[in-house]
Chains A and B, each alone.
Chain A
Amino acid sequence: MSRARSQAAITVGRLAGWASRITGRGAGTQVGGRIMLAIDPGLLTKLGSQDRVICVSATNGKTTTTRLIADILRAAEIDVVTNHTGANMASGVTGALAAPHKPSVAVLEVDERWLTHVVDPLSPELLVFGNLSRDQLDRSGEVNAIVKRWRTITEADPTRHVIANSSDPHVVYASLPARVTWVALGIPWIHDATTCPQCSELLTWSDEGFKCSACTFCEPKADYRLDGEYFIAGERRIHLDLSIPGTWNLMNAALAATVAEAHFEIPAEVAIKAMSTVEVVSGRFSKHRLDDGREARVILAKNPAGWTEVLNWLNGRDAGVVVAVNAHIADGRDTSWLYDVNFEALQGLSVVASGERALDVAVRLRYAGVECIVETDPLKAALAAGGKEVDIIASYTQFTHLTKRFW
């Protein structure tokens, strides 16, 4: 395909992106990228050859990890291009790479279901694999299908560098064929990983990690490791001093620190210092002032693993809690997952069930022994909640809607 066509694709796409932005319909990269790919399907391959590309994927934490890696590289005075939140499929990646920029490191968040579509044309020098768990069942199908697709990527090029979480059996199986640096992040969620990805027999867990009861599949020895709030690199034990909350962000930061040290030769100490000032990632941990003067923090939880992490973090805080759940496709249409989450952790707190599926939440809370009131509007719910401040935990479409209302 000619240069002229690629150039035309980029020009028309940028124009459409600009139109989308000024009409307030979106950030524009996604729309622009879609049009560019329609005009020149080979565009991504050409764009990929201009930058050093790394792709970050996971069920949970890919947005934050991508942002942390980008900030570390910038602090090390490396030019960075990255995609906007949510623009993590082929169109969003195209839009980001087509924006005018000098040759850089492209740090790209990629949807776990779209990884093959992005990796094949871009041929990234590094893949960063966080975790794989059940996410919105009725949309994405089975975790095992995603694992198989990831595995075809590593099998296709065993020389490619992969930085992967050695505590997650799905991620390990997907990464094994490649040249892997392992980081043990610990896995708080083993529900989806009870059978061996290699032979389907049962996995067993011990102090040495997981191991298949039938075949040779087992947890690999880690090069780096997360231990509580500390990042362990050989003899070095470095405190992860973060401004973003929760165990899950410690895991994201440990993954980013491994990328910095093992791939970019930026010492973990330097990387961790660069991450320490990050407070808000795409509205994810943002704080807002409520009408009654109290502070509300909005937290996105997308799936049972994510909810479990957030609820464990809430435990012990003196804050009211709003649980805001919708059931659109992006949230998962089936609300059964509410029973996979330990809402029992909210016992004794001031809790409001909210969102379009407030009644599903309220009934779940009843069986968890948690008293609550029902208010479908999350902002009214926040005002109704007690506590010195309020944490609003929201499913995906509730979260995106809320952050728009706050800004």
Chain B
Amino acid sequence: MIPLEHWLYLSGMVFTLGLCGVLMRRNVILVLMSIEIMLNAANLALVAFNKYLPPDPATGATAPDGQVFVFFTIAVAAAEVAVALAIAMALFRRLDTVNVDDVANLRW
């Protein structure tokens, strides 16, 4: 079996990749996609952790809490993205841009 560390390295790499995307991309849609990648890295870690938890001595099985949590994350991320894209649409309609650098009127 593949050791847990490998999954965590993978998830860490994906998370970092997403974070770099958020910091370096200038297009709002791509920034949102990068955040989705970060969330998926967290999901991967959750599932991997759940798989490798020691089983409950009473029942001999591991409760699938972590995997159920992933469903919550997926559902919430979908809701979040729906709202985010609606706002990105409004941004494009009003300011004719999806570039985050152009959205900088509020500053001191």
User: Are A and B part of the same complex?
Assistant: no
